[in-house]
Amino acid sequence: MVVQAELSDSEVDRIFRALADATRRDILRRSLDSEASVSQLAAAYDMSFAAVQKHVAVLERAGLVSKRAVGRQRAVRGNPERVERARALLDRYEQIWRRRIERLDALLADDLTAEH
C-alpha cells in the first residue's frame, strides 16, 4: 500500500494518543476486523456505554475509525488506510534508529581496531 501524504504533527499526536490506551487499541482491532455497533463494542467491556462512546470518539477524531448511522445505532468501522499511514511513520522512525545504531557500531568497531 502506498502512503499518500505525510501526517501533520497534530494528526500524529491524535493518532498516538488514541493508541496509547489498551481499550481503544482493542476497539480499533475489532472494528478493523468487522464493522460493529457501539452497543456491540460496549458489550465486550466492563465499563459504561458512555465510556465506550468516548473511546470511539477519540479514535474517530484521530481518523482511525469512522461511524455511520444504521437505523438508530452507529456502526463503527476501522480505517485501515490511516493505520497504514501511522505504521509507515513508525517504519521511517525505525529506519532512522537503525542507521544510528549502525553508525554507532561502526564507531565502536573503529575504536576497538585502533586500540589493537
> Residue 5's pLDDT band (boundaries 50, 70, 90)?
low
Set out the domains of the chain in order of their start, with CATH numbers.
9-115 (1.10.10.10)
Strand partners, 67: 76
**Residue 76 dihedral angles phi and psi, to the nearest 5°:** -110, 130
In tens, the pLDDT along 52-93 reads 999 999 999 999 999 999 999 999 999 999 999 999 988 988
Segment holding 16, helix H or strand E: helix 9-19
Stated pTM of the model? 0.79
The C-alpha cell of 33 is what? 476486523
Q: Write down the mean pLDDT value for the chain.
A: 91
